[in-house]
Amino acid sequence: MAAPQTVSRPEYDEPVENSPFSWRAILEIVQALALAVVISVVLNLFVVQVTEVRQRSMEVTLLQNDRVLVSKLDYRFGSPQRGDIIVFNPPPAVDASIPYVKRVIALGGDTIDLRDGKVYVNGKVVEFAETRGQPTTPQAATVRFPFTVPQGDVFVLGDNRQFSSDSRTFGSVPDQNIIGKVILRFCPPDRLIFFEW
């Protein structure tokens, strides 16, 4: 009688336990975070930035503590236009460490005058519904009207004319001081609005 044959079972490798600590996984996380930071910095420097409104000078268009999205691309490919809401660094004469938010009223070469509480640009009355008919009066003796805006500057006013420190106080704003154009108010969410591009 033949001896019973032994069937050899295939050998299987023992399952390797996953190590709870992996340098490769940590490296991938660090790379992803670094890429996110670089993208965020590039966007903030050259494309858009978020700004919090700190003053009351643009009420009721923009309220204090509103958050807005500012486009930095608009003025790389074009120039400011009358009616644009811009964020800019105030001139050195102004003792302020935060950017201002105001509306562009006149451009380089325009002549602006304030008479009887009204704003005239090149002899024509300029009104914006957002100002709600507030009288616009001079603020400082150093800015005399009629005032011709130098080329490469803009003349800005706050929509809340009686509570705004603007070009009536510190004069026109050089284009290079402009950070960008406000394109969106997104916070608080119930006041979300896109402004015209």
Active centre residues (catalytic): 57, 102
Read off the tokens for 184.
Answer: 């969106």
**Three-class SS state of 144:** coil
Burial (0-12, 13-18, 19+ Cβ within 10 Å), 95: exposed
Residue 118 CB neighbour total at 10 angstroms: 14
Q: What CA–CA distance (Å, rounded) separates 96 from 27?
A: 43
Nearest to 113 by CA among 154, 161, 146: 146
Beta-strand ranges (E) seen in the chain are 48-52, 67-71, 85-88, 100-107, 111-115, 118-121, 124-125, 147-148, 153-157, 173-174, 178-187, 193-194
Whether the Cβ atoms of residue 95 and residue 191 lie closer than 8 Å to each other = no
Tokens linked to 148: 């011709």
